[in-house]
Copies of this chain bind each other. A is one copy, B any other.
Amino acid sequence: MLIVKKFGGTSVANKERILNVAKRCIEDYKKGHEVVVVLSAMGKKTDELIEQARDINPNPQKRELDMLLTVGEQTSVALMAMAIDSLGVPAVSLNAFQVAMHTTSAYGNARLKRIDTERIRNELDAKRIVIITGFQGIDKQDNYATLGRGGSDTTAVALAAALKADSCEIYTDVDGVYTADPRFVKNARKLNEITYDEMLDLASLGAGVLHNRSVEMAKKYGVQLVVRSSLNTSEGTVVKEETRMEEMLVSGVAGDKNTARISVIGLQDNPGVTFKLFQHLANHNINVDIILQSVAREGTKDVSFTVAEDAVEDALEVIKRHKNTSLACDYIEVETAVAKVSVVGAGMMSNPGVAAKMFEALYDIGVTIKMIATSEIRITVLIDEAYTEQAIKAVHDKFMLGEA
């Protein structure tokens, strides 16, 4: 078997944890498996580097920030190779150049384009454990480009796809995917299996375990994901295509406070104005989530949408730049003290009334719904941030997701 194992920053934060991860990798190696390890930067290293950069230049060039950040993962992989070697197993570390991990040039938020597997294959054939830097790639001009949030997960899945790995294990500090965040919801239950689509919605809605980009890629290439804990050996949650025999109505509830609502009020209703608004935002790599558009009246309309909080500044700049031309409007409102709460479940598709049940749960505790978005397998509402945990608990209870 070829297994790709991804460990996050907490799992390699110090010497003891690095040696712990080394031992886990060696266990699989000694069973005769081929092992590829993907690592993030140690602990808070990435944040420290960003701070160091901003101390010198409050607004560092994105290309240079990526040049700086990539040292984080390179440090992790080199130390891991030394740790594995110290335990008597041959290992080699590779960075984005050495693998040839090709990305776009969107520094800080690049997309993977192609991974060369020749070097990795050669190292595996030489019976080495291969340790690869997550989060980073190189663009056409040989500049480093980092993948943004959840980047290391994406690297792991992409490698698993490129290498046709039998399994891609994502190690975190929780031991699987839960029906709700166990830190807030005491009776949350661990799921043994979940479909890509459910995981996708949970990921994009702030469940925090896996980033949606990595799940999307896993779904696209049919990579079987396993979410496991680096601290214990429990089985974790398998993310795959097939649905379970007994379909649950709802698989989980998730909350996401890292969201803000931007409202463009009195937008001149010229042809294609909404299209232009979101195209401008897309051109600047700003991901828009829930969109709400009022019915046009008197030649204008109001458009609201949510973005991640750290994208607010960029989004406002983009809109203001076009305010006098294609995006003429009266004013812009921003609200950051909001949160998304979502229920996700493949069972929803054939069960009307899920939305009503969720709204009822929120109504019971007196929480006002500011925006609503639905898909076939999820319902998301935007509420006041202060009520996030309370709302998650109420919805979780309403759907009776807790352990028996």
A interface residues (Cβ-Cβ under 8 A, vs B): 15, 18-19, 49, 52-53, 55-58, 60-61, 63-65, 67-68, 70-71, 74-75, 77-79, 81-83, 85-86, 91-93, 95, 97-98, 119, 142-143
Contacts and interface: CB of A to CB of B under 8 A. Distances in A.
Contacts of A61: 81-82, 85
A67 B56 contact: no
**In the complex, the 3 A-B pairs of residues with the closest C-beta atoms, listed nearest first:** A68-B78, A71-B71, A57-B82
Nearest to A97: B97
A68 B75 contact: yes
A56 B79 contact: yes
B56 A86 contact: yes
A72 to B, nearest CB: 8
A164 B133 CA distance: 36
A119 B141 CA distance: 9
Contacts of A98: 142-143
A61 B56 CA distance: 34
Contacts of A53: 78-79, 82
Contacts of A60: 82, 85
A64 B52 contact: no
A15 to B, nearest CB: 6
A95 to B, nearest CB: 8
Given A74-B70, A85-B57, A142-B119, A93 B64 contact: yes
B18 A56 contact: yes
16 contacts: A49-B75, A53-B78, A53-B79, A53-B82, A56-B83, A57-B85, A61-B81, A61-B85, A65-B78, A67-B74, A67-B77, A67-B81, A68-B82, A71-B71, A71-B74, A71-B78
A91 B60 CA distance: 11
B56 A82 contact: yes
A160 B81 CA distance: 35
B93 A67 contact: yes
Given A56-B15, A98-B143, A78 B82 contact: no
